Structure 1
Amino acid sequence: MITADPHIVHILQEVIEFLGTFAFAISGIRHAAARHFDWFGGYVCGFAVAIGGGTIRDVMLGVTPFWMTSPMYVLCTAVALIFVILFGRLLKRLDNAWFAFDTLGLALFNIAGIQKTLTMGHAFWVAIIMGCITGAAGGVIRDVLLNNIPVIFHKEIYAMACVAGGLVYWLLFYLGAPLPLTIVVSFLTVCIIRYLAVRYHISLPILSKDAGDMD
Structure 2
Amino acid sequence: MSEIFNYIDYIGTFVFAITGASIAGKSKFDFFGMLFLAFLTAAGGGTVRDLIIGQPVFWTNNSIYLYLIFISTLSTFFLVKFYDKNKTLLLILDTLGVGTFVIIGTHKTLIHGFNNETALIMGTTSAVLGGILRSAFSKEFSILASKELYATIAAISSLIFIMLIKVNIALNSCAFIVIAVTFVVRYISIKLKIQLPLFKG
User: Which TM-score bucket, shorter chain as reference?
Assistant: over 0.9
| Cα displacement (A) at 1:193 | 1.2
Task: List gaps (5 residues or longer) in structure 1.
Answer: 1-8
Matched, 1:50 2:30: no
On the 8 A contact 2:153/2:182 being kept in 1, the answer is: yes
Counterpart position of 1:73: 65
Partner of 1:101: 93
Equivalent pairs counted in the alignment come to 201
Q: Distance in 1 between matches of 2:98 and 2:134?
A: 13
- Residue of structure 2 in register with 1:206 after alignment: 198
For residues 6-40 of structure 1, give each alpha carbon's deviation from its aligned partner in whole angstroms, at most 9, with x where no partner exists: xxx33233212111110100000111011111111
Report the Cα distance in structure 1 between the residues aligned to 2:82 and 2:128, rounded to whole angstroms.
27
- Supply the distance in 2 between the matched residues of 1:173 and 1:145 (Cα, whole angstroms): 36
> Deviation digits for residues 50-79 of structure 1, max 9, x if unmatched?
000000100100111111111111110111
CA distance in 1, matches of 2:6, 2:144: 26
The amino acid across from 1:177 in the alignment is I
Do the aligned partners of 2:26 and 2:80 also contact (CA within 8 Å) in 1?
Answer: no
- Is the 2:24–2:138 contact (alpha carbons within 8 Å) kept by the matching residues of 1? yes
Q: How big is the alpha-carbon RMSD for the aligned residues of Structure 1 and Structure 2? A: 1.6
Query: Deviation per CA, 1:183-207, whole angstroms, max 9, x where unpaired?
Result: 1111111121122222332211222
Q: Does structure 1 retain, via aligned residues, the 8 Å contact 2:14–2:68?
A: yes
Matched, 1:18 2:10: yes
Distance 1:41 1:87 in 2: 16
CA distance in 2, matches of 1:47, 1:38: 14
**Superposition map of 1:126-145 within 5 A:** 126-145=118-137
Q: Which amino acid aligns with 2:163?
A: L
Name the counterpart of 1:112: 104
Deviation at 1:128, TM superposition (A): 1.0
Task: Between 70-79 and 166-175, report the one with greater CA deviation.
Answer: 166-175
The residue identity in structure 2 corresponding to 1:15 is: Y
Counterpart amino acid of 2:10? F
> Based on CA coordinates, which of the two structures has the bigger radius of gyration?
1
Q: Which of residues 176, 182, 185 is equivalent to 1:193?
A: 185
Amino acid at match of 1:46: A
Distance 2:44 2:71 in 1: 18
Supply the distance in 1 between the matched residues of 2:58 and 2:189 (Cα, whole angstroms). 31
Question: One-letter code of the match for 1:33?
Answer: G
Q: Please give the alpha-carbon distance, in whole angstroms, between the structure 1 residues aligned to 2:31 and 2:187.
A: 30
Picking from 16, 19, 33, the partner of 2:25 is: 33
SS in structure 2 at match of 1:151: coil
Q: Which amino acid aligns with 2:23?
A: H
* Structure 2 segments unaligned to the other structure (5+ residues): none
Letter in 1 for 2:19: S
Alpha-carbon distance, 1:147 to partner: 5.3
Provide the rounded CA distance (Å) in 2 between the counterparts of 1:21 and 1:95.
19
